[in-house]
Structure formats: structure tokens, C-alpha cells
Structure 1
Amino acid sequence: MNPRYILYMHLVINDILLLTIFTLIQVLTFIVFTLNVSLCIVLLILGILFSLNNPLTLAAMAVECYIAICFPLHHTQICTVRKIYLVIILIWTLNAIFVLPDLLVILANEPVDFFHSRVACLRQNVFKTPYLTVKRDVSNTVLLVLVWLTLFYTYFRILFTAKAAAADAKKARNTILLHGVQLLLCMLTYVYNLAVEGLTHFFPKDVQDIRFTVSIFIQVLPRLISPIVYGIRDKMFRNYLKKNLFCTRFRTHAEKCQEKTNTETVVHLAMSIVDSN
């Protein structure tokens, strides 16, 4: 299996899980408005974990693309399936290190009754310690800086070192740029609170509708669009899409015509045998 597709599948599956958690929180919030704190903590931690996976996966995909263009002879030795799985495990481990301290701080500071109470399932209602807000901002900043540095480094290295394979280099540069666009879409998450607070100021009676609408545009649509765009750009994926989606009707018609032709041939052959006898 191509390591590139393993990372792409990881990105898509991660987005599916993230959207599942997001949809579950939204539906439960609309139905019962408040959730048990323990359940809310589990959902929020999973959502945060899946959200943090995206930037690091994009960085890993950029590095794999850089190795494929700048070190083509060593690509198969460096980017093996086993190493890609190790990279995915490393991504989950690093993000768990970012997330688990939040849970430990809550367990240490909040009374037991808090975990049996009910709140609106929002991050600021559960992770209320000021230290956690500072830690979240610092962690997100460090993570995004590292990812952006990786994207810039791989892009310019491909730009200046892969002159021998101009077509492949151009495609690789476009792929890195696409990773940058995907990262920008992921970063829309950080303007969620600002957008909700700004719209709530003008429409204070429609808080629930505002949160739902903003969530659709900031959380859902970017994660639906980016994997589809990336997949359609891939030649193999595009060929399978054309073969199995767009050409189904024409292929079915051709198969029917072929079956009809075969049937007519058999009938004519049988009639010829009968006439000869």
C-alpha cells in the first residue's frame, strides 16, 4: 500500500470521527440543552484530540511529498508502511500529551459533585481553570508554528531543489500549497468563539441558532471540502472516481448491448445447426 494513501485515509477517518463527535454534541445540546459533565468531558476530549490530529497529519503528508520529490531513490526506504504507522502513533501520542493534562487538572481541582452535575457542553463551561486557557493557547500556537514551518520548509525545498523533475515538482508544490489551504481551514476553529460572541451581541435571542450555524460553516464544511479536493487532485483516486461513478451508466449500457449481441449470436448459431440437420 502507498504510504501517502495511508496518511490520506488517516486524515479522512479522523475528520469523520471529529464530525461524528461534533454532530453528537450538537444534537444532544438541541434535545436536552445540558449534558452530564462526565459525558461532556469525554466528548470534548475526543473532539479536541481529533481536531489536533489534523495539522500534524497535514505536516506528515507534506514531509512525505518532500521526500518523494527531493529523495526519490530513498523514498521507498524512508517512507515504508511500518514507518507511516509509527508516525500516526506518534501523532496520537503527542496530541494525547497535549490533552490529558486538562483532564488531570479537572480531576484534581473540581469536587466530585461537579462531575455529576449538568452543564451546556462547551469547553469554557468544563475546563474553567485559567491555567488551562493559557496552556491551550500556548499549545495551539506551538503546534501551528511547527506545522507552518514544516509546510514552508518542504515547499521551498521542493521549489529550489527539484529542478530535474519539473512536472513532478510543480505538482508537489501545488500539493504543499493545498496542505496550507487545508491548515487555514482547520484554523477557522480558533475564530469560533469570536464569531459566536460577535453575532450573539447583535442577536442575543438566537444563541442556539447562531452556534449551530457558525459551527456548520467553521467546523463541518472545511472538513468536508478539504479531503474531497485533495482526493480529486490525486490521479489514481480520480481515475477510480471516473470509472466507478461517472461511467457506471455507460458501462451498464455497453454490458447490456454486449449481452444482447451474444444472445443473438447464440440464436443464429442454433438456427444454423438446425437448418443443416
Structure 2
Amino acid sequence: MAANSSLVSDAFLVGKIKLIFAEVLVLVFLCINLLLIVIYFKKECFHTTARYVLFAVTLLSDSLLLFMSDLLLILTHFHLLVQVWMCILISFLALLYFTVTPVTLTAMTLERYVAICMPLRHAELCSTRSTMACILIIHCISSVPCIVILSTFFASASLSFYKDQRICTVEVFMFHAWQDHLRSAISQFYFFIMCIIIIFSYAKIMKVAKAASGENKKSTQKGLRTVVLHSFQLLLCLIQLWCPFIEAAIFKIDFKLFEHIRYFNYIVFYLAPRCLSPLIYGLRDDMFFRALKNSLLSHKRNLI
């Protein structure tokens, strides 16, 4: 009896530590993202450059996803029940911005490809108007998976089910095995298309980098490193697409292991990619870094 009580106490303590660690990470990433968003909106020169506009979209989508996923983490950790209709609203936003980031990263990779491999057409293809249209397309493409998942749920659920109290997870919307198969097929299709675009862009930029010389070579090499960082970030984001299926398989075997795996996936494949966007365009980009440095120095002088 005492041994069981000790195990329960240890598990409770570990759970609290894991929750606090996740909360600290979310808070840190949110503060960094919000700081960079403020810098973006303060400088008008960023508003007309495609890569900075897409960077801002990434920061906003990452921040919203961090908030929504953290809310779901807290609800799940404390076993708080919410009505299904409210869970639908939360899950729709979480699923939408879960996909927006990798799709936006793919668009940013294409922008780098155009800038390096098609410099004469860059101003035309990456104009402010084209970028706004691109953002709309990104959100339309990203909404397809959550629309499909929720549509199959609406077709299967009874009206009384919407008032039920449940722990809010995506599994709430899955009544049949074919729904999981459909979600898997859509995720694999997105994974395949994004991988092709990344590989194509990397190969083309690599070819230009080898042929470039002088200042062009330096600029091209920097663009190539940016694409490599995007590729790594996108890889982490794309692995997210496989996480639900790995978790679903483990859930059937061992619930405790399932909880550990889900937490690991949340930290490594949900939170970690969100810290790379500030690195790629917040610290590595000279123009954005100068704006950030000037803003911090100005704020420091005001405090003094």
C-alpha cells in the first residue's frame, strides 16, 4: 500500500515538473515571438518585403499555436472537461495553425529560390500584392486537413453529442477507423509535396551557388544556409504530421508510455521548431537584427 502511494506521489511530481517545464518554454517562446512581431510592425520597410511578411505570418501562427496547444495541454493535464462544441472551436484553430507554419516555411523556401535563381523576376513574383495573395493561399491550403477532419465528424456525430463533456483532443472527432486512414493519407500527401519543393529548391540554389562568384557567391551561400535551416525546421514540422499515428499505435499498447511519448513529441516537434523562426530571420538577418538591436537600445535609454 505504501509502495503504491509512493509511486503515485512520484508520478504526480514528475507530471508537475513536466508541466512547469513546458509552461516555461511556451512563455519564453511567446515573449520572443511577440517582441519580434512588435519590431516587424514598427518598421515600415519590412511590410513591403516578401520574406519579412511571410516571417511575420510564421511568428503570428506560431504564437497562436503555442497558446492553443498550451491551453489543450493544461486541459488534458488537469483532466478538465469541456463541451464538444467548444472543443471544435479550439481544435479548428489548433489544427489550422498546426499546418500554416510548415506551408509558410515552404513558401519562404520558394521565395529564396526565386530571389537567388530568378533575381530579375523576384520583384514581380514577390511583390506586396503577390505576397498577400500567397498568405491567402497558405491559409486555404492549411485549412483543408481540419475541414476534412471536422466534416467527417459532423457527418457522424449526433446533435446531442455536441453538448457532451469531454477531454479536448483530436481523438474526440474520430468515430471510425477510416477517419484515421483519411487523416493519415492527407498528412502523407502534404509531407510528400513539401519534401519535393524543399529538395527542388535546395538543388537549384546549390547549382547557382557553385556557379556564383564574389559578392554573389557570398549572398547565395547565405541564402543556401537559410534554406538548410528552413529544411531542418520544416523537417521537425513535418514529423509532427506523423506524431498522431505513432501516438495512436502506442496508446493501444501502453497508456503510460503513450503519455511520455506525447509529451516528448510536444516538446521536440511542436515547441522546438517555433524557436527556429526567430533564429533564422530574427538573429541571422542583418536588417532585422539591427532593428531589434536599435529597439532594445532605445528602450534601455528610456529606462535610464
Smaller-chain TM-score range? 0.7 to 0.9
Aligned to 1:111: 158
* 1:197-236 aligned within 5 A: 204=256, 211=262, 214-223=265-274, 225-230=275-280, 231-236=282-287
Q: Is the 8 A contact 1:45 1:99 kept in 2?
A: yes
* 1:195-274 aligned within 5 A: 204=256, 211=262, 214-223=265-274, 225-230=275-280, 231-245=282-296
Q: Give the TM-score normalised by the residue count of structure 2.
A: 0.73
Code of the aligned partner of 1:39: M
Aligned to 2:133: 86
CA 1:154–1:243 in 2, change beyond 3 Å: closer, same or farther?
same
Name the CA distance, whole Å, in 1 between partners of 2:231 and 2:193. 13
Code of the aligned partner of 1:240: A
Unaligned segments of structure 1, at least 5 residues: 257-277
Code of the aligned partner of 1:191: C
* 1:75-224 aligned within 5 A: 75-162=122-209, 163-164=211-212, 165-189=216-240, 190-191=242-243, 194=246, 204=256, 211=262, 214-223=265-274
Which deviates further from its counterpart, 97-106 or 240-249? Answer: 240-249
Which deviates further from its counterpart, 206-215 or 21-30? Answer: 206-215
Aligned to 2:57: 10
- List per-residue Cα deviations over 1:244-275 (Å, max 9, x = no partner): 336865x679xx8xxxxxxxxxxxxxxxxxxx
Name the CA distance, whole Å, in 1 between partners of 2:177 and 2:249. 19
Which deviates further from its counterpart, 183-192 or 158-167? Answer: 183-192
Q: How much does 1:219 deviate?
A: 2.0
Code of the aligned partner of 2:243: V
CA 1:69–1:217 in 2, change beyond 3 Å: closer, same or farther?
closer
Name the CA distance, whole Å, in 1 between partners of 2:100 and 2:253. 32
Code of the aligned partner of 1:229: L
Unaligned segments of structure 2, at least 5 residues: 1-47
Q: How much does 1:173 deviate?
A: 0.8
Aligned to 2:67: 20
Q: How much does 1:75 deviate?
A: 0.9
RMSD: 2.8
Code of the aligned partner of 2:225: N
CA 1:210–1:191 in 2, change beyond 3 Å: closer, same or farther?
closer
Q: Is the 8 A contact 2:150 2:173 kept in 1?
A: no
Q: Give the TM-score normalised by the residue count of structure 1.
A: 0.80
1:69 aligned onto 2:120: no
Name the CA distance, whole Å, in 2 between partners of 1:211 and 1:146. 26
1:50 aligned onto 2:86: no
Which deviates further from its counterpart, 122-131 or 142-151? Answer: 122-131
Q: For the pair shown, which has the larger CA radius of gyration, 1 or 2?
A: 1
Code of the aligned partner of 1:20: F
Matched position secondary structure for 1:121: coil
* Aligned counterpart for 1:35 among listed residues 68, 82, 93: 82
Name the CA distance, whole Å, in 2 between partners of 1:48 and 1:130. 19
- List per-residue Cα deviations over 1:149-206 (Å, max 9, x = no partner): 11111111111135232111101111111111111221342336646976997783x9
Q: How much does 1:99 deviate?
A: 2.1
State the identity %.
Answer: 26
